Amino acid sequence: MSIEEEIKAIEDEIRTTAYNKATMHHIGRLKAKLARLREERQKQAVAKSAYKGEGYGVKKSGDATVIMVGFPSVGKSTLLNQLTGTSAEVAAYDFTTVDVIPGTLLYKGARIQVLDLPGLISGAASGRGHGKEVLSVIRNADLILIIVDVLHPEQYETLTQELYDAGVRVNARPPEIAIQKVSRGGIAVNSTVELELDEQLIKAVLAEYKIHNAEVLIRERISIDELIDAVLGNRRYIPALTVLNKIDLLSSGQLTALIQRFPEAIVTAAAAGTNLETVTARIYAALDFIRVYMKPQGGTADTENPLVIKRNATVGDVCVTIHREFVEKFRYARIWGMSAKHGGQRVGLSHVLADGDVVSLVMRK
């Protein structure tokens, strides 16, 4: 059997097998094998694309990278144009975008790179429609915008499944599992909570990946899928926003029903410029930025050009953002703002900053 045939056979068996205590071990082993085969398929597809010279070379820029994901003709290019002023080609037929089109969104001092990718289609994770190349770019995103045509809300489930099959976990965090391989002693499983998975199933999953000696520490209740993700160790956990586009095509009753189905989604009509400010504000909030203001020694703080960094960033992160050499020459910093105990507090590289802080760096000469 080919890999594709093996994958389909296992998927069919999982789908037709009732999940209960009696079948839990069998399904767990099937899921582990399925994940392994999908990994092999993905590696083959990537190697094939590299051999043919295919792929998208995208250089990250700005303070964060946001990637728009959606089926062909859902309005990604129109939304990109409205948000960033980029002149991406727009037409009423599929696959207008055949390459990655970048734009820059400027908001509250942040420079946010926004990428319009070729539309995903069902089967993208298996390589259909340049799916592998598109998904490889998505894995490097700081935020995903899932763009859905309001006339085809079923697109959402297809898109999230394709992302999942490609190893992208949207709006999720890594499971609290530590797996330390050792040279001997078999598999030792320890947990700080009561587990649904028993030790034999955990060992069976590890064996599927040829792990026969390891110390496993589990700190939360996990599913079999989360265990497999932890074993593979190559999943990407990326926040995502859902954007329902073309709301001008719906009646008020249809729109109300759609919002009930997707209560966290942003509704817009990109072509008409509807709710663009909401889209921008939600992107900024989802990226979890803070702004700090740099103050030269003996001077005043630059309140016009904030330094945009991630929440919980440290003084050391600020130094790296400006120039890595600043870390090597760093003596101390003085901080004014919410993170300081008093104005001008002297702190080190590990000091965690807050939004609106003023930072003055003192360097060795």
Q: What is the pLDDT of residue 124?
A: 45
Cα four-point dihedral sign 158, 163, 166, 171? negative
Burial grade of 273 (CB within 10 A; 0-12, 13-18, 19 or more): exposed
Q: What is the H or E stretch that residue 168 is in?
A: strand 168-170
**pLDDT at position 51 over 70:** no
Which option is the CATH number for 289-363: 1.10.1740.10, 3.40.50.1000, 3.10.20.30, 3.40.30.10?
3.10.20.30
Which band of pLDDT confidence, cut at 50, 70 and 90, is reported for residue 152? very high
**Span 38-52, average pLDDT:** 66
Class of the domain covering 64-172+236-286: alpha beta
Question: Would you list the domain boundaries of the chain?
Answer: 3-53+175-232, 64-172+236-286, 289-363
Query: Residue 57: its pLDDT value, please?
Result: 57
- Ramachandran sector of residue 87 (left: φ over 0; alpha: ψ -120 to 50; beta: rest): beta
Query: What does 96-165 look like in DSSP terms, one character per residue?
Result: ---S-EEEEEEETTEEEEEEEPPPP-TTGGGTGGGHHHHHHHHTT-SEEEEEEETT-TTHHHHHHHHHHH
Q: Does 256 score more than 90 pLDDT? A: yes
Q: Report the predicted TM-score, pTM, of the whole model to 2 decimal places.
A: 0.82
Q: Kindly give the residue spans of alpha helices, DSSP state H, lying in the chain.
A: 3-16, 24-51, 76-84, 131-138, 155-165, 199-208, 224-232, 252-261, 276-286, 315-322, 325-329
Q: Quote the pLDDT of residue 123.
A: 52
CA dihedral 75, 78, 80, 83 (to 10 degrees): -120
Least confident of 42-56, 258-272, 310-324: 42-56
